[in-house]
Amino acid sequence: MGSKRKISSERLGPLLVALGVLSFGSAAFGAALQEASSDPAQELFDSALKLYGKGKYPEARRAFAKVVERYPDSLVASAAERRTRPSGFLGWSDIVRSGDSANRVDVVIMGEGYTLDKQRAFDKLASSVPKFILRQKTLAEYEAYFNFIRANVVSAEDGVDGFGREYDTALGGKTLSTYAGHVGIETGLVREVLADVPGHDGQAIVFVRLGVLGTGGGGVATIGGQSVKTVVHEFGHSFFGLGDEYTSETHKRGKVRNAVNVSNTPDETAVSWAHWIEADVPGIGVYEGAAGQARDAWKPTPGGCVMDTGEFFCMPCREEAVLDIYRLVDPIESCEPEALPRASADSLVFEGKDLTFRVQVMEPSTHSLEVEWHLVPEASAPQGPVARGRSGRYGRSRGTRADRGPLGELRGEPVLEGAKPKRGGWHTLVLKRRDLAPGRYRLICRARDATLVRGDRWPWVLKDSEGVLESERAWWVEVPR
Ligand SMILES: [Zn+2]
């Protein structure tokens, strides 16, 4: 992967946003673009970005410094200034881009304790991360749902705070009070860097050059040194909110916190994976030893999960991973024509014999999403989901797909279902006027990931109470008399 995908870097988009010119209509866009390029401060800033894009980091820093020096009152001066601080953000660049950030999980990889002359080494390390994450079967199945982005963050010094010594680094790397001295960082500083990466999802992986081991939580996976092997485990904490399934004590943790895969009770009906036990799935039960202790904490399997010391996500962990991905990624990527909301008074009116509708769905690596089309007379058109309010997960300002609430069940037989998708995940429905009585109809296309992967007896998700595996697009269609 990677080679056949488009590698882009930070260019005019974010700049134009910074300048406020993207708010003009598309006709004014070209003019604004010209204006931007005739602005000498902007030109210099652009050339600094170009240097950054080429990996000429010291030269880029000098060019940003020039912007500040020559054009201190320009619109780009503050963005340039931030990129010239002894410790701070320098720029971002795609490692793997599978699609628009609006409908992908954007994972931003950054480094701590990487001085200016170590940035190239960081780039190399960062480029190796996607392949480690996607080596995981669960995440590999959803490869097309992820973007990986590199953020270059410069530290003036290379060190990890602790043992009475403080270093000037970008993300406040420190030694935690665990027995082994696990590495940690300042989450707030990571969030500041994320704010410079358009379309991020609050998900970061931070490599601390001189740190050891790793920690993860609240959207930030911190990895000591270059131990990419721990990335998936820490990502399990930071993105999926999973707990530790290992028993060895790393530090005093206090009361056991329940998680999708950890319980402070052995009660089979009260653990968060009770539905797996209820469904009688082999290998799933309640096993003592989790959350870094041998007693009084329980997990779903006797061992082998990546949240223990294994290689794969156990079934309850995998279920949560898939749900979390779908909390951010809509199974439906796009549609033609544009969907019409329930409340819309507009309709697509038959002028000729047919009306054609197309929906593009996401494409997991080895299985396809289920798509079905329903045509319902206006009088019985469903109301649509009832919003549940913001869950506020992942530190994102916008909500997640879970806030939408589950889609209701559709009554009646679908007009089309089970068709094979065309290249790119496209599904097409052609409505024929001669089949329809005059009137107004609601055409609904539903897409759902049944998470049935070949070779597996059980779906990857048994319980989707938020309805995130499902999505729909709908239109009003009018058949004139
Ligand atoms: Zn697990």
Separation of CA 264 and ligand 1 centre (Å): 15
Listed in sequence order, the residues at least 6 apart from 70 whose beta carbon sits closer than 8 Å to its beta carbon are 40, 41, 44
Q: Ramachandran region of residue 219, left (φ > 0), alpha (ψ -120 to 50) or beta? A: left
Q: Please provide the DSSP assignment of 29-69 as one string.
A: HHHHHHHHHT-HHHHHHHHHHHHHHTT-HHHHHHHHHHHHH
439 near 378, Cβ under 8 Å? yes
> Could you report the per-residue pLDDT of 395-426, keeping only the tens digit for each?
444 578 988 888 888 888 888 887 788 889 99
CA 12, chain centre distance (Å): 23
The answer to which of 222-236, 341-355, 421-435 has the lowest mean pLDDT is 222-236
- Tell me: the pLDDT tens digits for 241-293? 999 999 887 777 778 889 999 999 999 999 999 999 999 999 999 999 999 88
pLDDT digits (tens, 9 = 90+) for 281-325: 999 999 999 998 889 999 999 999 999 989 899 999 999 999 999
Q: What is the predicted pLDDT for the residue at 331?
A: 98
**Higher pLDDT, residue 186 or 175:** 186
Q: Delimit the domains of the chain by residue range.
A: 330-479
Q: Which residue has the tokens 């530090």?
A: 251
What integer pLDDT is reported at residue 275 of this predicted model?
98
226 pLDDT band (50/70/90 cuts)?
confident
- For residue 241, give both structure tokens: 């909110």
CA 475–ligand 1 middle distance (angstroms): 41
Distance 480 CA to ligand 1 centre (A): 56
Q: Give the confidence band of 12 by pLDDT, cuts at 50, 70, 90.
A: very low
**Mean pLDDT across the chain, nearest whole number?**
86
C-beta neighbour count of 119 within 10 angstroms: 24
Cα 213 to middle of ligand 1, angstroms:
19
pTM (2 d.p.): 0.87
Ligand 1 centroid to residue 308 C-alpha, Å: 7
> What pLDDT does 20 receive?
34
Provide the 8-state DSSP code for 312. Answer: B
In the reported structure, the alpha carbon of residue 242 is separated from the centroid of ligand 1 by a whole-number distance in angstroms of: 8
b/e burial code for range 417-429 (CB count within 10 A of at least 16 → b): eeeebeeebebeb
Percent of all residues in the chain with a pLDDT value above 70, rounded to a whole number? 87
Question: 306 alpha carbon to ligand 1 midpoint, in Å?
Answer: 6
Separation of CA 292 and ligand 1 centre (Å): 14
335 close to 371: Cβ distance less than 8 angstroms = no
Whether omega for the bond prior to residue 406 falls within 30 degrees of 0, making it cis, is no
Give the integer Cα–Cα distance in Å for 227 and 214. Answer: 9
The answer to which of 22-36, 144-158, 371-385, 408-422 has the lowest mean pLDDT is 22-36
Gap from CA of 261 to ligand 1 centroid (Å): 6
- For ligand 1, the distance from its centroid to the CA atom of residue 313, given in whole angstroms, is 5
Cα torsion at 390, 396, 401, 406 (round to 10°)?
-20
274 alpha carbon – ligand 1 mean position (Å): 14
Q: How far is the CA of 262 from the centre of ligand 1 (A)?
A: 8
| Per-residue pLDDT at 141 | 97
Model pLDDT for residues 112-132, shown as the tens digit of each residue:
999 999 999 999 999 999 998
| Distance from Cα 243 to the centre of ligand 1, integer Å | 8
How confident is the model at residue 389, as a pLDDT? 62
Average pLDDT over residues 13-17: 40
Residue 460 has pLDDT above 80, yes or no: yes
Q: How many CB atoms lie within 10 A of CB 91?
A: 25
Taking the centre of ligand 1 as the mean of its atom positions, its distance from the CA of residue 314, in whole angstroms, is 4
pLDDT of amino acid 227: 75
CA distances from 475 to 260, 464, 467 (A): 38, 26, 21
pLDDT band for position 179 (50/70/90)? low
- 181 Cα to the center of ligand 1, angstroms: 25
Question: In angstroms, what is the span from residue 438 Cα to ligand 1's centroid?
Answer: 55
**Is 330-479 CATH 2.60.40?**
yes
- Judged against a pLDDT cut of 80, whether residue 393 lies above it is answered with no
Q: Which long-range contacts (CB under 8 A, 24 or more apart) does 31-36 make?
A: 36/12
Q: What average pLDDT does the segment 73-101 reach?
A: 94
User: Residue 24 above 50 pLDDT?
Assistant: no
Tell me the one-letter amino acid at 17. Answer: V
Task: Tell me how far the alpha carbon of residue 301 lies from the centroid of ligand 1, in angstroms.
Answer: 7
CA of 299 to the centre of ligand 1 (A): 7
Q: How far is the CA of 290 from the centre of ligand 1 (A)?
A: 10
How many angstroms is it from 312 CA to the middle of ligand 1?
8
The Å distance, Cα 142 to ligand 1 centre, comes to: 18
Q: What is the mean pLDDT of residues 451-472?
A: 95
Alpha carbon of 450 to ligand 1 centroid (Å):
21
pLDDT of residue 173: 78
Interval 185-207 mean pLDDT: 92
Please name the helix (run of DSSP H) or strand (run of DSSP E) that holds residue 316, with its range, or none: helix 315-328
Give the model's confidence band at 180: pLDDT under 50 very low, under 70 low, under 90 confident, else very high.
Answer: low
Q: 15 pLDDT exceeds 80?
A: no
pLDDT tops 60 at residue 394: no
The pLDDT of residue 423:
86
Rounded CA separation 242/60 (Å): 40
Which range is most confident: 76-90, 159-173, 212-226?
Answer: 76-90
Q: Give residue 197 CA to ligand 1 midpoint distance, Å.
A: 31
Find out whether 206 and 126 touch, Cβ atoms under 8 Å: no
Residue 68 Cα to ligand 1 midpoint, Å, equals: 50
Which pLDDT value is given to residue 388? 65
Residue 1 has pLDDT above 70, yes or no: no
Is it the case that residue 62 has pLDDT exceeding 80?
A: yes
